[in-house]
Amino acid sequence: MEAIDIERKGCYIDGIWMVTNNDHPIEIKNPADGSILAYAVRGGKAEVDLAVSAAKRAFHSEAWQSVLPYDRGKLLNTAAAIIRNNKDELAKLETLDVGKPLTQAETDVEIAAKYFEYYAGITDKIYGETIPIEPGILDYTIREPLGVVSHIIPWNYPIQIAARSIAVSLATGNAMVLKPAEDTPLTTLRLVELLEPLSLPKGIINVVTGYGHEAGAALSAHPEINHITFTGSLETGKKVMAAAAQNIVPVTLELGGKSPNIVFADCNEELTLKWVLQSIVQNAGQTCSAGSRLVIEKSIKESFVKKLANMMENLSVGPGMENNDIGPIISEKQYEGIQSFFQLAKKDGIQFATGGERKQGEGLNDGYYLEPTILDDVPADHYLAQEEIFGPVLTVTTFENEKEALDIANGTPYGLVAGVWTENVGRAHRVASKLQCGQVFINHYGAGGGIAMPFGGYKKSGFGREKGLETIRNYTQVKNIALKY
């Protein structure tokens, strides 16, 4: 596959690939071996100002305001077809950039196409309401686009989240500025390039590459942004929210997770083992919604963990382009962060049921490969069971009754996703109703991207919802009109 010259193309602003006078471009590294894939422009406040100004002009232009909702839907369906026509290239680029197995990247690209198809179907179905007031007054609401919306995209699922961001923003009639993660901007830039034949008004889509503390901070604090969507860490989310507050700008925050799989003794063991494993090793566990806690009934714990450890030990670990089960950790910084959790576990006498070591072998020494790991018998209030590790690392905590299971599951600062595993339908619904999180899966975990399912968190996992129809509320504002007749 021909390399993409990111440095030459630069940021995408007002329909132009803009190269800045930049003495320190960002190195984009291949997590599989540490080699440099490309260089990205180190955008900052100047580039953000240009991008926001371009988006604002484009949003108010007659060229965009005159596009009918139905025609926006046609554009989105065309975008879906473009993505599928370039599926192999985008998947390979995603694997090179992120490190994930190629089959997972191929799934991500298909999900990206589905986002465009899903939101294509709602462009002419964003309804208002009529409200009964009194005779002689016709009162109604309409939903209007916000204007210029910004998206700060994380490094773990860039093609999915870039596609979701672009699709919903276009569907609701907004203009946008995207800031991909400095580690993984390649598929976002390539996607925008592939969408150029749509002939959208210049400035409707803009991309500024750069570091979070420079370009991301400038975007969060910009006074002419009308909404900010941020997906990333809790600490950075706090900074984004604080910056937006200075301009009274609404935010949607998708932050950390410490999601439990709650396993009761009457579960379907074979099915449960399969999903518990998949939910922690997908993308090397570098997923905000990963099932990173196994909260399991004490009577079956020993046998279940032994089988799960054996399954982990039979997974292949290696370069994503070779389609191993688990690819590399994204960077040295992320790898060292996981190692610090391991050091804490050893210090506190936590047992490793399996894993806990760097994966060694031919072709692995230049990447940050990690054995999938189970930390056994972790107290529910221990730091390891409370904080996001963001790697293929599962903590195990036992319970003896339903109330204890719920107390453990709800007993972290986060509330993003939970899995419930039981053949007792009454218990399943009872537990689901008491879980403090944004999504609950019963006897499965995840649903092919969950495009139609509202996604977001309780507590410190953030607020606002992406995906599904619910997200339309984030990208539109309500106007009430009252007519006296």
Residues catalogued as catalytic: 254
- Half-sphere CA count of 317, side-chain side, radius 13 A: 26
- CB-based contacts of 22: which residues, under 8 Å, 6+ apart? 41, 42
Element containing residue 364 per DSSP (H, E) = none
Whether residue 43 contacts residue 215, with contact meaning beta carbons closer than 8 Å, is answered with yes
Which residues are CB-contacts of 29 (< 8 A; sequence separation ≥ 6)? 35, 36, 37, 183, 331
What value does the CA radius of gyration of the chain take, rounded to a whole number of Å?
23
Bridge partner residues of 352 (DSSP): 375
For residue 386, give every residue at least 6 positions away whose Cβ sits within 8 Å of its Cβ, in sequence order, or none. 258, 412, 413
CB 102, CB 92: distance < 8 Å: yes
Residue type, 98: V
Cβ-contact 258, 296 below 8 angstroms: no
Parallel, antiparallel or unpaired: strands 130-131 and 36-40: unpaired
Q: What is the DSSP string of 229-282?
A: EEES-HHHHHHHHHHHHTTT--EEEE-----EEEE-TTS-HHHHHHHHHHHHHG
Phi, psi for residue 459 in degrees, rounded to 5: 50, -135
In 16-59, which ranges are E strands?
A: 16-18, 26-29, 36-40
CA dihedral 323, 30, 104, 448 (to 10 degrees): 170
Residue with tokens 């009454």: 426
For 27-58, give one letter per residue: b (16+ CB within 10 A) or e: ebbbbbeeeebbbbbbbbbebbbbbbbbbbbb
The two structure tokens encoding residue 468: 């599904």
- Assess contact for 234 and 392: CB atoms under 8 A: no
